[in-house]
Amino acid sequence: MAESLSNFGRCTHAIVRDIPDSLGKEALRTGGGGGCCKEQQQQEEVVEVVVSPVDMARARREHDLYVAVLRQKLGLQVVELPADESLPDCVFVEDTAVVCGDTALLTHPGAPSRRREVEATKKVLEDLNFNVVEMTDEAATLDGGDILFTGREFFVGLSKRTNQRGAEILADVFKDYAVSKVSVTGTLHLKSYCSMAGPGLIAIGSSEHAQKALKIMQEMSEHRYDKLTLPDDEAANCVYLYIPSKGHVLLHRTPEEFPESAKVFEKLKDHMLIPVSNTELAKVDGGLTCCSILLNKKA
C-alpha cells in the first residue's frame, strides 16, 4: 500500500558507513579523478583539471558530526558500518539501496568499482527484517543518489550512473507509486541539485541544468509541489526528516559554505534547521543525503 503523505520523512533508523583512508586518493570524481572519469579522459581531449585534495581528518570530523546529529540530536537508531579500504566510495551508502515502506531494493551501482558496497547494506537490511529485493539484471544500473521519492511518487534521474533498465526495475518493485524518468545533465546524480525539504516541498538549485530537471518533473507529475530555490546547486541537497518530538527537521549546508543559500533555508520557520558541514566529501561529489539510508521501521 502507498504510504500516507502524513508519514513522509518519518524515520527510526539510519545506516551510515565510516570513511576509508583510500577515499582521499581513490574515490571517484566527476572532475577528473577516479574510475569512470579515466575512461572519459582516454576518449576525450585531455583537459587539465585542478583536483582539490581531501583533508581526511576534517572529513572524519564532519562525518562524525553528521552521525552524531542523527543519533544524539534526533534520537535515531544508527547502524554504523565499518569502512572497507578496498571500497574508497563506501561512505556514500545512499547509492546502495532504495527503501520505501518495508521494501528495500538493493541497487546495481553504475560504477563497477562500487558494486561490492551493496553486500554490507544487504546484511543490515535483512537483519532489520526489511523485504529485500536484489537487482539481478546485469544490464541495469541504479544509484540511490538518482532517486527522489516525494512521498507521492518517484523521480529517477537517468545519468552516467543510472540507466533506463534500472528505472524500469525500480518501477516494477514499487508498483504503488508512479515513476517518472528525468534526464540528468551537468552533474553526477539527480539529487546533486535537488532533494525534498519537506512534504510537498522540493529544494532545487538555480543552475540551468537544475531548473531544466525541475521543469521536466513538473510536466510529468500529476501533483503540485512547492519549490525552494537555492542560489547554489550543492546546497539543494539537504536531508529532511519528521521526528514526532521535534517536528520538521532539515539538515542543510552551513552558512560558511553557502551563505546565500543558508539565508533561503532560514525562511523555513516551521523547520528545526541544523547546519552540517560537508566541505571535504563534496570534493568527491558527496552530498548530505549520500551519507545515510534513512529507514522507518514499523514496531
Question: In the numeric block, which cell numbers belong to residue 154?
Answer: 518517484
H/E stretch holding 208? helix 208-220
Q: Which one, of 109, 115, 117, 210, lies nearest residue 162 by Cα? A: 109
Rounded to an integer, what distance in angstroms lies between the CA atom of residue 276 and that of residue 288? 8
Residues 153/178, Cβ–Cβ less than 8 Å: yes
SS3 236: helix
Rounded to an integer, what distance in angstroms lies between the CA atom of residue 238 and that of residue 232? 12
Active-site residue 290, yes or no? yes
User: Side-chain half-sphere of 34: how many Cα atoms within 13 Å?
Assistant: 21
Active-site residue 189, yes or no? yes
H/E stretch holding 171? helix 164-173
Spatial strand order of the sheet with 247-252 comes to: 239-243, 247-252, 271-275
Give the list of residues 6+ apart from residue 127 with CB closer than 8 angstroms, or none. none
Rounded to an integer, what distance in angstroms lies between the CA atom of residue 3 and that of residue 100? 9
Rounded to an integer, what distance in angstroms lies between the CA atom of residue 253 and that of residue 261? 8
Rounded to an integer, what distance in angstroms lies between the CA atom of residue 68 and that of residue 26? 26
SS3 33: coil
Residues 148/154, Cβ–Cβ less than 8 Å: yes
Which of 13, 63, 108, 189 is the catalytic position?
189
Count of beta carbons in the 10 Å neighbourhood of residue 61: 13
DSSP, res 290: G
Which of 90, 238, 290, 291 is the catalytic position?
290
Q: Which residues are annotated as catalytic? A: 189, 290
